[in-house]
Structures are given as C-alpha cells and as structure tokens.
Amino acid sequence: MEGGVKGVEYQAQPRDAYKIAYIIHFLLGAGNLLPWNAFITAVDYFGHLYPTKHVEKVFSVAYMSSSVLVLLVMMTWSGWWERMSPRLRLSLGFSLFILSLMVAPITDWLSGSSALSSGRANAGYGVTVASVVVCGLADGLVGGSLMGSAGKLPKKYMQAVFAGTASSGVIISLLRISTKAMLPQTPKGLQTSAHLYFIVSTIFLLCCLLACNLLYRLTVMQEHCRLAQDEPYCARPKFWDVARKVPLPAFGIFVTYTVTLSIFPGFIAEDLESKLFRDWYPILLITVYNVADLVGKSSTAVYLLKSIKWATLACIARLLFYPIFAACLHGPPWLKTEIPMGVLTFMLGLTNGYLTSVLMMTVPKTVLASEAELSAIVMVVFLGVGLTALEYKVESVSFLACCLSLTNVITPLKPQELKGFAGIMFRRSGTFILTPISISCISVSRALHVLECAVVNGWVGSGLSSSREWVGIMVYEVAMGVLGGDWERNGVANMGSKKRWRGWGGESE
C-alpha cells in the first residue's frame, strides 16, 4: 500500500499564484456540507411547521441514503461519470443544491403562513422531504467529484477541501447563535431565522457555482491536468481492486464517523443540561465541536502524520470516547459540568477533523496515479456508509465486518433487513454469503450493547443486580446474534420498556 507511482506529487508542481486554486477548493468544500448543516440547523423550524412528523430522523435518513446511493452508482457504473468533466459534475451538483434549498422558503411563502392546514402541511412536508432527497443526491455528486478530483492533485488541495467542509459547520453555528440572539423567540422569529439560513446558504452556493467554473480555467489546474495525462496509460481501475489496496484507511474512516456521529450531535444536543447556559448549552457545545473540527482539519497544513497504520490505530482508539462520555453522563457530578464536557467535545471534534484529513490526504498518494481519483471515492463511500449505518441504528461492529467481507457489489438494505442473520448477508453474484467473522462480531456487538444500555439507562442496581441475571441476558443476546433473533422484539428493546429479560429462563415482568 505504500508503493505506487505518486504522480504529480514528485514532479515539479505548477505554481498556484495567490493560492487561488487552494481558496476555491476551500470554498467548494464549505459549499459541499453547507446545505446539510442548513437543513439540520433549521430542524426546530420544520418541527414547528410539522409537529406530528419525525423531522430530524426523516431528514437524516433521506439525505444520507440518497447521498450514498449516488456514490454506489458512481462506483458501480463508473463509465458514465468519467465521461462527464469534473466541472460539469460540480456545476450540476451545486445547481441541485440551490434548487433544493429554495424549496423550503418558497413553500412557506406560498402558504402565506407558518401555521399550515392539515392538507397543506402534508403536501408541504412531502415536498420538503423530496427537496432533502435531491440535496442528498447533490451531496453525493459534489462530494464524490470534488474529492476524487482533489485526490489527483497535491495533498494541500485535499486538505483545503476538508478544512472547507469543517468551516461550513462553524459558519452555520455562528449564524444560528447570531439569529437566536437578535430575533425574538416567537414563531415569526423562528420563521425569519430559518429563511435567513436558506437565503445565506443559497447566496453562498451561487458563489460556489461560479467558483467551480472558474477553477478549471486556472492555469495551475490546466497544468495539473496536463501532468496527469502524461502519466503512463493504465487500464481503467475497478472500485474493488482499488478498495483492496486501502483496507486500513477505509476501516479507519468508517470507525471515525461511527464514533463521532453516535455522540455528536444527538448525545450533545439532547442528553446534556446546564443551569448556567440553559438552552444555549447544546448550541455552544455544537459550536465548540465545529470549531475543533475546523482546527483539526486545518492542522494537517502544519503537520501531517504520514503513517496510515498509526492513523488507523488512532481512529480505533477513539472508541474510548464511548466509556468516557458515559462516565460523564452517569459518573461523579463534577464530570458533567461545563468545563469537562467542553474539553471532551473539543477533543472529539479535533480528532475527527485531524484523522479524517490525514487519511483523505494520504490515501490517494499510496496508489497508482491512475487510481488516485477512485481511491478518494472509495474513502468517501466508506465514510458515507458509516454515516448511513448510524441512521439505520445498525450495530456498528457487525456492519463494519460486513463491509470488510464484501467482495463484489454492495446491496443497500432496508432497516428491517439489518437484523440478526439478515444483517450479515450481502449479495454477491446473485447469491448471499455469510462469514464467520460477521457472526462473531454481531454476537459480540449485541452483548456490548447490553452493557451500553446498562450504563446509559441506569439499569445497574435497578432490579438486574444479580450477576446470574446479567450473564443470562448476555448469553441470550449472543444467541440471538447467531440465530437471527428479532432485535426489536427480544432482549434489549424490551428491557427499555421494563420488560426485562431475567435469568436463564427468560422470565419477563
């Protein structure tokens, strides 16, 4: 994995006058995630418009699923997108971003009021979800194209892209804080702030649309394209051929976002309280995370860890954030105060940003120059799979084993298919395959989930203090992992509703 022709990295690099190409890559990176941040930041506004809907969950699944779908199409049918120039793909993606972001305020304005009738609310909700799906499709198109294109360039341009993605979170967080401070906390104020999000985001995306058309007219970019064309001809690389060359970083990027997204923003926004900051507390913590993420992704411009092995080990070490955050939630009161939580949140964002940037910058330079673009897309696919796995509440360890055992084509699965036996079966040449490592991982993950529930929900000492009872639950969950038991009707799910599985015999109350 350390070998390969490094391409433009070892040749005399064209001069980027005034760092215009770097700045444009930073701008496009910010534009790539700005629409998603705008939708999530305005979730309170959509919750006001559609109080009976599970807005945040639906938005997350709609956006992430459609984004990963585009990436899967790009990796499966690579011919069609290779025939499109990067400029055309980026222009199409940013145009779809602008279209989807304008749907929400236009729908609201046409309704004439933020309080919609039942019929209009259902119609408006359907249109809004459709716009989120379009936004996710655009994200897959822009993200895959931008990072694939940057993968063929010197490392600094990939660093600029990821620093830009982090800056979008900071921009939206600061916008949220300013509007919350300036506008009254009324339905009208909520409506105005949401419209402001979308208007500012749309203006920013218009700038990105102009910038992506300017980028490929720059002399420095034309020189890089010429150098890439001068590389010896190689047959078109295949996705899985490239993926097999980068298993460690693909593993690392998956684990990184599995850990991060299971804590941020849900745990930070919903499970923490502060008498000092009150309703400002989650907003401030989210801002701390976004700033730390930006610092981490920008730090690679100063120092870049060159060992993919050590970077992957650092990604795995981030699993320690689980027990640390659990200890803060249920441990001594001083651990739950503002300073420890602020420091932990900062470290979560800093490590996420730095390790993501390290892996994404390093991987394209460890493969052949002709495979650099596809290797970046491989990383984006595994990043997206990590995000989508969390949205579907899949046990992350077993899902990871499935991803690593996959050898041909990923088949997107419905949530209900990702349980028990079905959660470890993937399609390969018309048949399903099953690997022993997947069985082991799904069993262990179920047992670990029991312990997680015990810590998070405070079940220890609440009627399940007997070691015999806990061993019974653990054995039951491991058995269900192997035999394919229904996660929603057995064991842990019922324990949450006080129908706890007791002892070896399964006596419930």
Cα–Cα distance for residue pair 447/41, rounded to 1 Å: 35
More confident residue, 430 or 285: 285
Q: What mean pLDDT is predicted for residues 494-504?
A: 36
Q: What is the pLDDT of residue 409?
A: 33
Average pLDDT for the chain: 72
Mutual angle of helices 321-330 and 247-263, in 10-degree steps: 10
Residue 159, class by beta-carbon neighbours within 10 Å (0-12 exposed, 13-18 middle, 19+ buried)? buried
Do 463 and 502 belong together in one domain?
A: yes
Q: Which residue segment(s) compose the domain that 179 sits in?
A: 7-230+237-393
DSSP letters, 251-294, are HHHHHHHHHHHHHTTHHHHHS---TTTGGGHHHHHHHHHHHHHH
Residue 265 preceded by cis peptide, ω within 30: yes
Q: Which of 375, 393, 411 is the last residue of a domain?
A: 393
Do 388 and 435 belong together in one domain?
A: no
Per-residue pLDDT band for 63 (boundaries 50, 70, 90) equals confident
CA 491 to chain CA mean position, Å? 29
Do 197 and 321 belong together in one domain?
A: yes
Q: What is the pLDDT of residue 415?
A: 39
pLDDT of 276 > 90? The answer is: no
Q: Are 491 and 451 in contact (CB under 8 A)?
A: no
Q: What mean pLDDT is predicted for residues 392-406?
A: 40
Do 380 and 429 belong together in one domain?
A: no
CATH of the domain at 185: 1.20.1250.20
Query: What DSSP state is assigned to residue 319?
Result: G
Dihedral sign (CA 175, 178, 181, 186)? negative
413 occurs within a structural domain: no
Q: What is the pLDDT of residue 210?
A: 95
Per-residue pLDDT band for 73 (boundaries 50, 70, 90) equals confident
Q: What is the pLDDT of residue 412?
A: 38
State the total domains in the chain. Answer: 2
Do 63 and 164 belong together in one domain?
A: yes
Q: Which residues pair with 432 in a beta bridge?
A: 427
Q: Are 39 and 180 in contact (CB under 8 A)?
A: no
Q: Between the CA of residue 279 and those of 17, 344, 492, what are the distances in Å?
A: 46, 19, 32
Per-residue pLDDT band for 349 (boundaries 50, 70, 90) equals very high
More confident residue, 317 or 18: 317
pLDDT tens for each residue of 111-139: 755 445 556 667 778 888 899 999 999 99
Do 388 and 503 belong together in one domain?
A: no
Do 251 and 335 belong together in one domain?
A: yes
pLDDT of 208 > 90? The answer is: yes
Q: What mean pLDDT is predicted for residues 40-56?
A: 76
Do 277 and 316 belong together in one domain?
A: yes
More confident residue, 75 or 484: 75
pLDDT of 428 > 80? The answer is: no
Q: What is the pLDDT of residue 350?
A: 96
Q: What is the pLDDT of residue 235?
A: 57
More confident residue, 366 or 435: 366
Q: Which residues of 233-244 are buried (b: 16+ CB within 10 A; e: fewer)?
A: eeeebebeebbe
414 occurs within a structural domain: no
Where do the DSSP E strands lie in 386-507? 426-428, 431-433
Tokens of 9: 């990295």
410 occurs within a structural domain: no
Do 423 and 385 belong together in one domain?
A: no
Q: Are 464 and 470 in contact (CB under 8 A)?
A: yes
pLDDT of 31 > 80? The answer is: yes
